[in-house]
């Protein structure tokens, strides 16, 4: 794992966007897994701008879902799908056949997990996984206490996720569980990128990078990844030992 520091969230987002664009130029049928949330919004904006300006062809890129709120349909503006559709899929005209998202309203979520696991296997894995970090150290919906041995799974959301998660919804949402790719899948991807910006992430970034690697802070497992980058703006890095 490497840590990279940026003066501003804009510089961070520009760098991540350029890396993704360069990857897609080199591998037009890349398989990407991108987080939703406030943190990647700027990165996604720069990806779309650069792709349009330079006419980068995203039509063969495959997108795999990182996570979704159980029971929340894609039409809900707070869903992970809605965010990615609004910031990436629609602006880049991604064919629906290239979007492999958790159906979190499926009757049998174990079958749904197996469906996504199989899709990832059929695609020969995910080339780049881009994650944010929750206030409790979750990545995807790998909540504190999660087993690092899991692939796609359903999990009870941690109280902090239940609380902070409401910010994405226009009306109070009945959320309780999440469906997510597991730590094992993140560890298997050849490149994992964790983004954190803002002073509110400083304390959890310090725990992630300076305390023991354990499921108490699931993001800490990324330190075991041979090719992971933790990209921090100045504020998110502000509590780290220099």
> In the complex, which residues of this chain contact ligand PGA (CB under 6 A)?
37-39, 132-134
What is the closest distance, in whole angstroms, from the C-beta atom of residue 44 to ligand PGA in the complex? 11
Residues 6 or more apart in contact with residue 147 via CB below 8 angstroms: 182, 183, 215
Question: Is-catalytic flag, 210?
Answer: no
What is the closest distance, in whole angstroms, from the C-beta atom of residue 156 to ligand PGA in the complex? 16
Supply angle C-alpha 50, 51, 53, rounded to 5: 60
Q: Which is catalytic among the residues 68, 112, 127, 143?
A: 143
38 or 114: CB nearest ligand PGA? 38
108 or 172: CB nearest ligand PGA? 172
CA distance 107 to 191: 33
172: how many CB neighbours lie within 10 A of its CB?
Answer: 7
Question: Is-catalytic flag, 225?
Answer: no
DSSP-derived secondary structure for 51-73: HHHTT---TT-EEE--EEETT--
180 contacts 155 by C-beta, under 8 angstroms: yes
What is the closest distance, in whole angstroms, from the C-beta atom of residue 1 to ligand PGA in the complex? 18
What is the closest distance, in whole angstroms, from the C-beta atom of residue 108 to ligand PGA in the complex? 26
61 or 130: CB nearest ligand PGA? 130
Question: Is-catalytic flag, 127?
Answer: no
Place of tokens 């944010």: 132
Pairing of strands 62-64, 31-34: parallel
Q: Which is catalytic among the residues 85, 112, 138, 233?
A: 138
Q: Which is catalytic among the residues 44, 67, 112, 127?
A: 67
36 or 124: CB nearest ligand PGA? 36
Which neighbouring-strand residues pair with 6? 233
CA distance 218 to 146: 7
Question: Is-catalytic flag, 22?
Answer: no
CA proximity to 181, closest of 60, 80, 73: 80
48 or 56: CB nearest ligand PGA? 48
What is the closest distance, in whole angstroms, from the C-beta atom of residue 93 to ligand PGA in the complex? 25
Pairing of strands 99-100, 62-64: parallel
Q: Which residue is nearest to ligand PGA (CB)?
A: 37
83 contacts 37 by C-beta, under 8 angstroms: yes
Q: Which is catalytic among the residues 127, 136, 153, 233?
A: 136
CA proximity to 142, closest of 101, 92, 194, 93: 194
Q: Supply the residues annotated as catalytic.
A: 67, 136, 138, 143
């Amino acid at each position: 794992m490497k840590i990279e520091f940026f003066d501003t969230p804009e510089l961070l987002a520009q760098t991540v966007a350029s890396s993704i664009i360069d990857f897609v130029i080199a591998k037009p049928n890349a398989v990407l897994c991108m987080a939703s949330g406030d943190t990647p919004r700027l990165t996604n904006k720069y990806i779309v701008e650069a792709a349009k300006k330079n006419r980068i062809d995203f039509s063969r890129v495959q997108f795999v879902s990182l996570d979704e709120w159980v029971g929340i349909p894609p039409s809900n503006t707070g869903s992970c799908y809605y965010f990615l559709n609004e910031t990436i899929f629609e602006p880049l005209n991604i064919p629906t056949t290239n979007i492999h998202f958790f159906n979190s309203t499926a009757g049998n979520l174990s079958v749904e997990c197996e469906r996504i696991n199989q899709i990832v296997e059929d695609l020969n894995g995910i080339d780049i996984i881009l994650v944010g970090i929750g206030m409790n150290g979750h990545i995807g919906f790998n909540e504190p206490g999660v087993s690092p041995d899991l692939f796609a799974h359903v999990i009870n959301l941690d109280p902090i996720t239940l609380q902070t998660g409401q910010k994405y919804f226009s009306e109070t949402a009945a959320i309780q569980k999440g469906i997510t790719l597991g730590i094992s899948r993140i560890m298997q991807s050849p490149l994992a990128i964790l983004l954190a910006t803002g002073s509110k992430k400083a304390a959890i970034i310090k725990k992630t990078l300076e305390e023991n690697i354990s499921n108490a802070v699931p993001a800490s497992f990324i330190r075991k990844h041979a090719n992971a980058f933790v990209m921090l703006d100045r504020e998110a890095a502000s509590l780290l030992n220099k």
